[in-house]
Structure 1
Amino acid sequence: MQVGVRREQCAGERRVAATPETVQQLTALGLQLVVEGGAGTAAGYSDEAFAAAGATVVPELPYERLDVLLHVRPLTPETAARLRTGSITVGFGSPASELPAVRALADAGVTSFALELVPRISRAQSMDALSSQSLVSGYRAVLEAALRYPRFFPLYMTAAGTIPPARVLVLGAGVAGLQAIGTAKRLGARVSANDIRTASADEVASMGGTFIRLDLDAPEGTGGYARELGEDRAKRQRALLAPHVAAADVLITTAAIPGRAAPLLVTLDMVAGMRAGSVVVDLAAESGGNVEGVKAGQDLQIAVAGGFVTLVGLRDAASAMPSDASRLFAKNVANLLALMTADGEVSPDFDDDVVAGACLTHAGTVRHAATASAMEALK
């Protein structure tokens, strides 16, 4: 079977859905890999490296003849329409925000797998691209903050005086938040964190952070994600967080719920209470932001007493570190594809919970219930 690896077309996207390592993995399963020229260049993987690993490098993918298409960003309706009936796609699908593309995949009779839908169970951890890319994003968020913060992160004791460590506050203790905590701690900052899931306290402590407990009763949602608070509780959460935000030199927000707008955790009034020179990095900016007024891909300066606070809306955080992000993402893709491959044939077994859970469209229908319901509501 012919498996194509596309060159991503979205501006700013530097990742690739396969690496020479995963080409070797999939070739060993009896699959034929076809890589579009330049697909991995921005991530540091040359056409020559793909060819040496056993792939065929072509100027343009023959979409109409592919059995499987591997991709990073969600496909456009135009690309979906080029795929033959019965072909398979594996990559991010963003079904909540890409309904026209989902409809196009279904209409084309394509069996599509969206990595956001991979069940968060133990046997699917090696296929969990949300987690692998969140790890990269959490690390990157701290680096972006450190570059903009006008002072040191670590404590320095010198003959000229003592420089206190930066105080970093992380909101959200999922994979991205925990990585941000660990990275800020390694840079020498004094780190605290909050998550509405009190069960996260031990994880925060294991990364070197101090868990901030708020007087909120917020049970955990499904799939390991936090459940979104009602408006009254959300207002109380913001009120309880306000003094901690004001005391922070760097604030990093990471709270996101797949397929939903990001919860508002920090208002502009809370930002205005921070000291001049402070930095706020919002990892959820692309889904609306945890911080009021954030703009994805932009730095904003919020006036405060004595100067301003820098508000950073990160866009393409994982793509900003394309080599390792691609290494992890490609392995997630290859592991899911390997689960569906036997004797050189990709044949999804929908009795498998992982395969069934990750499937977005199949045989002309939208299999993901929430997406199907959203599409019906638009009719």
Structure 2
Amino acid sequence: MKIGILKETQKSEKRVSISPNITKQLIEKGFEFIVEEDAGVLSSFKNSEYEAAGATIAKRDEVFKECDVLIKINPFDTEDLKLVNKGQILMSQLYHKSNSELIEAIAAKGATAFSMDAMPRITRAQDMDVLSSQNNLAGYKAVIKGAYEMTKIFPLMMTAAGTITPSRVLIYGIGVAGLQAIATAKRLGAVVEATDIRTETKEQAESLGAKFISVDNEGEESEGGYAKEASEDYARRQKEAVNTSLFKADLVITTAMVPGRKAPVLITEDQVNQMKNGAVIIDLAAAQGGNCELSKINETVVQNGVKVIGTTISPESVSTNASDLFAKNMYNFIVHLTENNTFKWELEDEITDGTLIVHEGKIRKN
């Protein structure tokens, strides 16, 4: 089986789906690799490192022509699909629930496609979960970005000139990104509070030193480990419960996303207008519409002295680490799906069933 590693074409993307180290490990298991020229350069992986691992370096069209499996991080785009051949197997994040035209185009090509963002949240799939591995880095970078944008320091500091009180950080959403944001902000000395629709996250937040802002959430359970869309009543009650902390916060980090849907608005323009002058909001959900009503992706909006920064804080900003983790997820996924270097096609397996969106030109998941 020949596996192709494609260079990411999305603007600002610096990651690569498979690192030289994982390439070597898979080659040792009998797979062949063809790597698009300079695919790993922006993650500090040279072409020579892939060649040393046993891979072949080739031009983009040659990778598409020669490989049985094609791997990317971001969805295959229109230009990619022009080069895809019938029977090829595509692996990437496809966001299939909100990207129906792409799924239909892949099916029309007679190809097969696995969506890495559709990995089920089950114990045996944890080491294949790219959302978790990448969001972990995003949570860390959100705090670092916030610290850079703030005009205050995080920790309590006692000096001869007086005492500096610690900054207050509020985090919406206690998933992987939120938990890492809590841990990072606490390590830097901030006072941290957090809230989430899922009450089962309370213990996790408190174990890392954050105060959990409780809101009665009867009927608002999570779905398969992911938060589901909140009711209007819950959203109203959450705003009321969180407002006191929001208006005191120096840094707010929002991470709430619902798979396949627009991100819920958790902070309105009116709330922003009541926040402290100089406060900073880092909205990690900006690519899905934003948790803050004012957020614009990859832009900083200043409203009443409050900076609203809409971003994914994409793990591409730490692309070497992000690529290493994504590659390890892919290694575990490929090993799970194959036996003797061929796909097992165990369609009833929960991992295969959850991620296999198109099979031999037929759409399985909408």
Secondary structure of the residue aligned to 2:60 is coil
After superposition, where does 1:1-379 map in structure 2 within 5 Å? 1-62=1-62, 63-303=64-304, 308-315=305-312, 317-368=314-365, 371=366
Q: Deviations over 1:19-77 (max 9, x none)?
A: 01110121122110110011011011111111111111113242133100010100013
Shift in Å, 1:200: 0.7
Whole-angstrom CA distance in 2 between matches of 1:60 and 1:229: 44
Whole-angstrom CA distance in 1 between matches of 2:106 and 2:192: 45
Shift in Å, 1:240: 2.2
Q: How many residues align?
A: 365
Whole-angstrom CA distance in 2 between matches of 1:126 and 1:94: 20
Whole-angstrom CA distance in 1 between matches of 2:353 and 2:341: 21
Shift in Å, 1:320: 1.3
Evaluate the alpha carbon distance shift between residue 218 and residue 227 of structure 1 in structure 2; reply closer, same or farther with a 3 A threshold.
farther
Q: Find the counterpart in structure 2 of residue 376 from structure 1.
A: none
Whole-angstrom CA distance in 2 between matches of 1:135 and 1:251: 17
Whole-angstrom CA distance in 1 between matches of 2:362 and 2:227: 30
Whole-angstrom CA distance in 2 between matches of 1:12 and 1:97: 22
Q: Deviations over 1:169-206 (max 9, x none)?
A: 00100000000000101111111101111111110012
Shift in Å, 1:98: 2.4
Tell me if the contact between 1:218 and 1:227 (Cα under 8 Å) persists in the aligned partners. Answer: no
What is the aligned-residue RMSD (CA, Å)? 1.3
The unaligned stretches of length 5 or more in structure 2 are none
Tell me if the contact between 1:29 and 1:338 (Cα under 8 Å) persists in the aligned partners. Answer: no
Tell me if the contact between 1:84 and 1:109 (Cα under 8 Å) persists in the aligned partners. Answer: yes
Whole-angstrom CA distance in 2 between matches of 1:98 and 1:36: 26
Shift in Å, 1:97: 3.1
Could you tell me which amino acid in structure 2 is paired with residue 310 of structure 1?
Answer: K
Tell me if the contact between 2:95 and 2:118 (Cα under 8 Å) persists in the aligned partners. Answer: no
TM-score, normalising length: structure 1:
0.93
User: Which moved further from structure 2: 209-218 or 333-342?
Assistant: 209-218
Shift in Å, 1:272: 1.3
The unaligned stretches of length 5 or more in structure 1 are 372-379
Evaluate the alpha carbon distance shift between residue 348 and residue 77 of structure 1 in structure 2; reply closer, same or farther with a 3 A threshold.
farther
Q: Find the counterpart in structure 2 of residue 374 from structure 1.
A: none
Whole-angstrom CA distance in 2 between matches of 1:282 and 1:313: 5
Q: Deviations over 1:238-260 (max 9, x none)?
A: 22222221011111001011111
Whole-angstrom CA distance in 1 between matches of 2:87 and 2:276: 58
